[in-house]
Amino acid sequence: TNRIEQIRVLELARRAVLTNDIGVYLGRMMVYAPTRGGKIFDTMLSLLLDRSQKQVPLLAEKISIIFTGRYKEHRDAEKEFDVLSSGLAWFPDRSIINRVREALGEDQWNDLDQLMRGRTCGHVYRISDIPNRHGYHDSHPNPNLTVQWAS
């Protein structure tokens, strides 16, 4: 990767992470990291979890959006919007979970853990939701490819 591309990735990630406006953050996530993958997403995650940096505004909300793939305007809101990976939850590996727990602190981690309870993560099927040759689709996933959240 050339130097200009590295600078571009860092700047796009930095702008998303440091914004005080959750709408701006959502928009940037949906454009630059809609599936929670790639260099921009990896850089965003590193910046969100970097404790040596200045305080990240709305840290808990931003991490919650990454983990749940969804956004609610406030905790008691009825409507929840699918914003990342069609609203599917993200279960990162244990090392990232430990870093998130450390970055959030125990109270905010417990809130996120509570939010994630009952959520599942699994294989993503075709957009049309038409069953594959085994009869599975997003609305009826293969139970062998589905994992339940357990912190």
What pLDDT digit, counting tens, does each position of 4-38 carry? 999 999 999 999 999 999 999 999 999 999 999 99
Q: Would you give the distance in Å from CA 30 to the centre of its chain?
A: 11
Q: How does 113-133 read in b/e, with b if 16+ C-beta sit within 10 Å?
A: bebbeebebbeebeeeeeeee
Q: Which parts of the chain sit beneath pLDDT 70?
A: 1, 151
Distance from C-alpha of 151 to C-alpha of 143, rounded to nearest angstrom: 20
pTM of the model: 0.84
